[in-house]
Amino acid sequence: MNSPHERRKLPSRLADSALTTATDSASKSFDYTPDAMMPDVKVFKVGGQSIMDRGREAVFPILDELVAAKDDHKLLLCCGGGTRARHVYAVASDLELPTGLLAALGGYVPRQNARMLQMLLAKHGGIYIMNDDFEKLPLYFRLGCIPIMTGMPPFGYWEKPSEGGRIPENRTDAGVFLTAEALGVKRAIFIKDEAGLFEDDPKKNKAAKHIPRITASELEKSDLPDMIVERVVVTYLQRARFCTELQIINGLERGMITRALKGEDVGTIITAK
């Protein structure tokens, strides 16, 4: 409709774009090749159920390895949730509350875990950081610190409803992947209590065969009821511009973190292609 009050535009290549679709024609005019912000950061996920809930027996040797490496690497630690997050999700599901609420509540536990690691690492430069401190990472690394944050992405109440249930689809695996992707890091390392992917559940079948390498599309095609990482991560990996590899290592086995930091393909590597 014609209006006497015309839209006032700042001239730009997207000035006439609705920006409502990914296929927006004006956006195609950009030769978009983003620069990696901090590609040399080593992004780690410290598992909640797999590591933190095991207590000192599992956590202390892992921290020893990380501290030993801290002067040679920029380490960013992101925490998972674990059994308390499962309890929160179970209570919230019983109360029939929406996914966004579960995502917001699920954020509390990884923050607790991050604070625990901060207390343990304080004397080695461990600092607890919030999502809003992300832009201060260069400072923390320059000071020789080990920044520790939640693995949960900051979606909270704005998390999409999930399909087939209430548990948020973007949890700490997704958050750690997205952290690495934002920093322009090629490989995110997940410290768990198994050496990655097996043909059967290694907790139930000791003879289960280890799978050292698999592509995201192979994982997707296998269409198993269970998966080694959050399903959205398998989707995101294939769309990534930077973070095209996930490495899952067994943190209970001494030396694995050190070998992963050297770039060795220990554990299981999930690749975008």
Partner 1 sequence: MSKLVTGDGRTHIESSLMRESLVDRRVIAKTSSEEEFAIMPDVVMVGIGGQSIFDRGKGAVRPLVEELSALRATKKHKMVLSVGGGTRVRHTMSVALDLGLPLGGVAQLVGAMEECNAVFLNALLAKHGSIVMQREHFWELPLYLESGMLPIVISTPPYHFWEPPPAEGCLPTHGSDFGLFIHAEVLGARRIIFVKDEDGLYDKDPKKHTDAKQIKHTTLAALMKNMPEELILDHALFTTWQRARHIKHVQIVNGLVPGQLTKALAGEPVGTVIVKE
Token pair listed for 89: 């999700």
Task: Report how far residue 209's alpha carbon sits from residue 131's, in angstroms, rounded to the nearest whole number.
Answer: 38
232 contacts partner 1 (rule: CB under 8 A)? yes
Token pair listed for 166: 């209430």
DSSP state of 130: -
Q: What angle do CA 74, 265, 261 make, to 5 degrees?
A: 20
CB of 243 to partner 1, least distance (A): 9
**Footprint of partner 1 on 103-162 (CB under 8 A):** 104, 131, 134, 153-162
Number of residues that bind partner 1 (CB under 8 A): 95
| β-bridge mates for residue 46, sequence order | 79, 191
Single out the segment in contact with partner 1 by CB under 8 A; choices: 10-18, 71-79, 141-149, 206-214: 10-18
254 contacts partner 1 (rule: CB under 8 A)? no
Draw the binding track, 163-192, toward partner 1 (x: CB under 8 A; -: no contact): xxxxx--xx--xx--xx-xx-x--------
Single out the residue of 140, 227, 253, 265 in contact with partner 1 (rule: CB under 8 A): 227
Task: Report how far residue 176's alpha carbon sits from residue 152's, in angstroms, rounded to the nearest whole number.
Answer: 7
| β-bridge mates for residue 246, sequence order | 188, 270
Single out the residue of 73, 86, 111, 213 in contact with partner 1 (rule: CB under 8 A): 86
Single out the residue of 61, 69, 73, 93 in contact with partner 1 (rule: CB under 8 A): 93
